[in-house]
A and B are shown apart, each in its own frame.
Chain A
Amino acid sequence: MAALHLEKVTKIYQKGDNRVRALDGVDLDIEAGEFLTVVGPSGSGKTTLLNILGCLDSPTEGRMIYDGRELRSLGERGLSAYRRERISFVFQSYNLIPVLTVRENVELPLLIERKLESGEVGARAREMIAAVGLAGMEGRYPRELSGGQEQRVAIARALVKRPLVVLADEPTANLDSHTAEEIVELMRRINADGGATFVFSTHDRMVMEHARRVVTIRDGRVTGDERK
């Protein structure tokens, strides 16, 4: 069975008197270790799909089965717990916690998860910081880093807890093309080395070219699913 399985997932938002169908019967299977990008025009439903994949939002209709487990029945706390253990995020604006150092930002998901001893947390964080090429910068604050470095920290933060899936909403949108390419290369390498599943939404052609699978979405429906 696929690691992530969406079956006829529909998401309807109520905006005033209007009902907006952001996702409309989406069927999608994502295997463990995939490097997949979701593309489509603005307002097509990419972010909604990522939010649902990330358990940040629940579908109005349809089923979500993650790692063999039906998630629809999970309430607010259950979804929080599932995110805590299995899902990580990389954001367009990096969204590092400004009052925490690089090391503390990377440690954060492990501290929220509360599964490891503090010594192990520190070791795992240092290992991830080195993996994204920021060894020696553990004590710096986000304001002391470039955009590319911040995104590397965000990637280290996303991977440190060894999640089932890493969801990245336009991770290169705020980066120059050279840095963007470095970041995508980094994620690809980590994907190849560690097997973490990556799902991106992007407008960036370069990111699409690096992806091994491109899912196209339009008006809330999957209109294309190309594997390379």
Chain B
Amino acid sequence: MGTLWKIALRNTVRHKRRTMITAVVMMAGISVFILFDSMLAGMDRMAVDNMSDYSLSSLKLRTPAYVEDIAATPLDKSLPDAAKALSVLGKRGFPAAPRLRFVAGVSNYKDLIPVLADGVDPAADATVFKLPAAVASGAWLSPSSPKRVVMGGLLAKELGLKVGDEVLVSAQTADDVTNADEYAVAGVVDTPDPQVNESGLYMSLADARALLATPEVPGGFATEIDVALPRSGTLNGAIAAGDEAAASLMAALPGLRADPIGYLARDYLSVREAKTKFSVVLMLIILIIAAVGIVNTILMSVYSRIREIGVLRAYGMTRGEISRLFILEGFALGVFGSFLGVALGALLDLFMILKGLDIGAFGSMMGSLPLAGVIYGEWNPRAMAMGFVFGIAVSLIAAWMPARKAAKLEPTAALRFQ
């Protein structure tokens, strides 16, 4: 085997141009895959972070009945004792804020747009969400200024509203009666989450309770408690930490359901798996192109060494050994190309991690994805290992056909070859 290795490696080095061209194509495929994987992970991270910061939070505490009927945002399935839950969360050091979610109609007295509104505790909410920092004009809600709302920038634009204007908010009360009241626009938010911009409407918990005529319950009426968990280094880490916290909270708060970000953002995360598959397919397409190059390189190697094959066969090498000789050459090419691919991919990845990619210019292409600003890459050794192994596997498969051709050569015909 040592002799086969020696001949295979030296032939790979001897035909530098052929080797380099093939390795460069492999390098392109693997590095694009690593870069793509890093960008997708960065996008996912940013999207999930933005959802946590502006709309979903890291974890929600609700009643199981409320979640089962969530499409109706039922007011009769609210939290039995929000204060108790907040106390448990406070003891664990988790910032938390109660919210009262309801379906509302917001009107400028001419047009009416249905939205999912939130009654919030302005001070506590600011410890969980970044909405106060996203106020583009006006100010965030204040307990001392009742009958105010903060709304998403696109919603305000759609209704032609600005800070200081009056809006009419209508909703079904807890007794299933339609109620409406007037509020002043205190602020307009512009967040990276398009959903907040398009349909976000926030008022104080007290105003929401009054509008909805909610009953008095211990700890105050709320449909959910939003929790901010400590940030994790990676998205997978954040999901795992969320799952762990949810399990622990459910044990501590029987009768409540704790849904972590992995559950809350499940629709987005299911698309993520499809994107990962897409990037693998992209890499495979490029590697298949490289495979054609590898087949060609090994075939050229076979044709230029037919007499050499004859000599080796004459000296007693078996067909299997001849085949292995060329498969080893393919393997050497694969290792070299894959190494270059991983090295370039890691460099590009490093650039993405340190500098990032400003997607401001692609804003209109982001659609409903909660993305804005600079996307930073994520270091993923698994993707690098996958690219490396795929590169070698494709090389071995590509080398197999010409290796078989070499092994089939009759020694007498090979020695006669001119």
A-side residues, CB < 8 A to B, are: 51, 54, 56-57, 76-77, 80-85, 88-89, 91, 93, 95, 97-100, 104, 108-109, 111-113
The interface-forming segment of B27-35, B158-166, B311-319, B358-366 is: B311-319
Whether A99 touches B314, Cβ cut-off 8 Å, given contacts A51-B412, A56-B415, A93-B307, is no
Chain A positions within 8 Å of B337 at CB level? none
Whether A100 touches B316, Cβ cut-off 8 Å, given contacts A56-B412, A111-B2, is no
In B298-330, the 8 Å CB interface with A consists of 307-308, 310-319, 321
The interface-forming segment of B6-14, B36-44, B255-263 is: B6-14
Whether A97 touches B316, Cβ cut-off 8 Å, given contacts A57-B412, A91-B415, A111-B3, is no
The reply on B192 being an interface residue by CB < 8 A is no
Whether A56 touches B10, Cβ cut-off 8 Å, given contacts A91-B415, A112-B3, is no
The reply on B411 being an interface residue by CB < 8 A is yes
Interface size on B, residues (CB 8 A): 23
Q: Smallest Cβ distance from B298 to chain A, in angstroms? A: 15
Evaluate contact between A84 and B316: CB separation under 8 angstroms: yes
Evaluate contact between A91 and B315: CB separation under 8 angstroms: no
B-side residues, CB < 8 A to A, are: 2-3, 6-7, 10-11, 14, 307-308, 310-319, 321, 411-412, 415
Task: Select one of B307, B311, B317, B412 contacting A80, CB under 8 A.
Answer: B317
Evaluate contact between A99 and B316: CB separation under 8 angstroms: no
Q: Smallest Cβ distance from B6 to chain A, in angstroms? A: 7
Q: Chain B: interface secondary structure?
A: helix
Evaluate contact between A54 and B315: CB separation under 8 angstroms: no
Evaluate contact between A104 and B6: CB separation under 8 angstroms: yes
Q: How far is the CA of A93 from the CA of B314 in the complex (A)?
A: 14
20 pairs, A vs B, C-beta closer than 8 Å: A56-B411, A56-B415, A80-B319, A83-B314, A84-B315, A91-B311, A93-B307, A95-B310, A95-B311, A95-B415, A97-B7, A97-B308, A97-B312, A99-B6, A99-B7, A100-B6, A100-B10, A108-B3, A108-B315, A112-B321
Chain B positions within 8 Å of A99 at CB level? 6-7, 10-11, 14
Contacts beyond the supplied A85-B316, A99-B14: 15 A-B pairs with Cβ under 8 Å: A54-B314, A80-B316, A83-B316, A84-B317, A89-B311, A91-B415, A95-B307, A95-B308, A97-B7, A98-B14, A100-B7, A104-B6, A108-B315, A112-B312, A112-B315
**Of all chain B residues, which has the CB nearest A84?**
B316
Q: Smallest Cβ distance from B126 to chain A, in angstroms? A: 71
**Of all chain B residues, which has the CB nearest A97?**
B308
Q: How far is the CA of A8 from the CA of B415 in the complex (A)?
A: 26
**Of all chain B residues, which has the CB nearest A96?**
B311
